[in-house]
Amino acid sequence: MGREFELKLEIPAAAANKVMRLPWLWEQASGEMQPRQMSTTYFDTPKYALRQKGISLRVRRIGAKNIQTVKAITPRKSSPIDRSEWEREIGGQLPELRHVLGTPLQEFKRKKLRKNLTPVFEVKVERSAYPVLSANSAIELAIDRGSISSGDANTSFCEIELELKRGASAELARLARRLASEVPASLGLKTKADRGFDLRSDQGARIYRAEHVRITPRSRIGHAFQLIGWSCLRQFALNADAVRVGNFEGVHQMRVGLRRLQTVLSIFEHLIDGPETDAVEAELTWLIDELAPARDLDVFVEKTLSPLSEDAAEDAALKCLLENVKTRREQAMQRAQEATSSDRFRQLVLRTALWVLAGEWSDLAELEGVRPEARIENFARRTLKKHTRKVARKLREVRGLDVVARHKLRLAVKELRYTAEFFSDIFPSARRHQRRFAKILARAQDNLGRLNDLAVHRRLGQEFVQTWTLVDLNRNGAASNENAAPAIQYALGFAIGQEQHESEACVNAAYAISRRLKRAQYF
């Protein structure tokens, strides 16, 4: 079994030649450029059984050779960019399954797998590879210009692969950072297999939800931070495509990924504290703020105005209000799209990735009494106990909290819930306790979330009245914009008033949950 430590950078095709002409890169290059033409076929079953297990199987033709490769992300990986791979030269262009012993494919019945395997897509690449050496590392820099085809569908790509052959991941980060200062490089989170399966599915921009992160009791604190942080980064960064095509669920899931990453910054603060972390946190906050209006207005439309409009089908004022808020929602979505399409976003994602992999924090042996090489179990116990006590205490005070304090409490509940999810595999014998703990937090989050929705809707209502721009909806029965304004303002007050009666019930439910949380066990 081999290990692959690889970082990808996506670049415009026009930038590839500039990279190959960088003087400082040639000074570090050892040996000649190695141009190669490669044709690779990926295989899976019709129901993508391998893909669902996180496994890829390919046969690559390079010259006269056929190389069969199995790749997988294994539970004991030592880095977020570490994958296990098994390579073997074979005689033909079809997989030879007798060679899969010792790989993740061995769990499949070979006869059944052989019968069901089929080519899924083909990748053709022109690769220019350079060995880049320094005193502390050996890195292969490969520029891949290629295309992926599946049936009549095809797409092209251009990317830089930085594969660590010797040395620390900090050297990969250093080289990636310098390349990104020369060309507009973006972090590449999708493998060629990912691109191929996306093309095959033909479902447009995917929605990426939180991934399960496997942290064992023997995991080191620094390693756990990297794995969890990288998972959160993937969730928010990969949803950018969905946001750019106007998908509101993409906005929601990007915000979830960002909030999860903020939780990581909070629970590991003594390990990662420093100016670089402060800069990353400031950029995450900027992006959350850019996405917030689209999410707030979408919730108002889908949870409040649309149901009311359906119940009062003949109410022209409600229809006019709904269309007006939808227009504002689209404007907010444009703001989110501009943010995720900006150079600032590109730099944010890459900067965050390099910080997770090899930020300043990774060079320090000890900060505030927390050692990166210490095991995670005791740290997880202390963290969960501390945050559980804090949240339970605040829930008991919920009846006396103002809107701002309730909002902070809601975020604290989210943080505790995410932390419990991050650390769940550290305590495998406590699954029953964990499920009960998760249900308690989910209910608290639902009630506090609804209270936050009510507060946001009141704020939106005030903003609408102060900055009203009506959409011409005469076709829906409004006499005119001028005459419709009082009726629509009344409809707005009616819509917001309809849900305010929920407030007391949500507060009482949150208060009751405090007793259950105080008694709950997690370990």
Tokens 């079994």, residue located: 1
Residue 342 within any structural domain of the chain: no
Length of the chain in terms of residues written: 523
Give the model's pLDDT for residue 370: 56
Name the pairing type of β-strands 2-10 and 153-166. antiparallel
* CATH code for position 75: 2.40.320.10
First and final CA of the chain: distance in angstroms? 35
Distance, CA of 285 to CA of 178 (rounded, Å): 25
Identify the residue whose tokens are 């899931």: 253
Range from 203-212, 357-366, 404-413, 496-505 that averages highest in pLDDT: 404-413
Same-domain check for residues 187 and 301:
no
Based on the fold, state whether residues 303 and 406 are members of the same structural domain.
yes
User: Lowest mean pLDDT: which of 21-30, 311-320, 509-518?
Assistant: 311-320
* Residues 409-426: tens digit of each pLDDT: 999 999 999 999 999 999
Q: Are residues 313 and 169 in the same domain?
A: no
8 Å CB contact between 88 and 67: yes
In a domain, 131, yes or no: yes
The tally of domains found in the chain comes to 2
| Nearest residue to 445 (alpha-carbon basis) of 416, 421, 422, 404 | 416
Q: Is the pLDDT of residue 204 over 60?
A: yes
pLDDT digits (tens, 9 = 90+) for 395-406: 999 999 999 999
Distance CA 69, CA 465 (A): 62
**Pick from 156, 183, 203: which residue ends a domain?**
203
Segment among 205-214, 314-323, 349-358 with least mean pLDDT = 314-323
Q: Which of 147, 176, 203 is the last residue of a domain?
A: 203
Measured distance CA(138)–CA(140) in Å, rounded: 7
Asked if the model's pLDDT at residue 53 lies above 60, the reply is yes
- Classify residue 227: in a domain, yes or no: no
Distance CA 38, CA 35 (A): 10
| Local confidence band at 49 (pLDDT 50, 70, 90 cut-offs) | very high
Task: Specify if 273 maps to a domain.
Answer: no
- Range with the lowest mean pLDDT among 74-83, 304-313, 317-326, 407-416? 74-83
d(CA 267, CA 288): 19
Task: Give the closest residue to 518 by CA, choosing from 409, 420, 423, 396.
Answer: 396
Q: Are 116 and 263 in contact (CB under 8 A)?
A: no
**What is the span of the domain harbouring residue 42?**
2-203
Residue matched to tokens 């880049």 = 132
Q: Same domain, yes or no, for 154 and 24?
A: yes
Q: How confident is the model over 252-258, as a mean pLDDT?
A: 99
| Residues 309 and 196 occupy one common structural domain | no
Question: Could you tell me the sign of the dihedral formed by the alpha carbons of 348, 350, 355, 357, in that order?
Answer: positive
Report the C-alpha gap between 357 and 174 in whole angstroms. Answer: 11
Beta strands at 138-150 and 118-133: parallel, antiparallel or unpaired: antiparallel
Domain-embedded: residue 120: yes
Same domain as 67, residue 190: yes
Residue 133 lies in a domain: yes
Domain boundary among 203, 230, 257: 203
Please report whether residue 275 resides in a domain.
no
Both 383 and 512 in a single domain?
yes
Question: Is residue 512 located within the same domain as residue 385?
Answer: yes
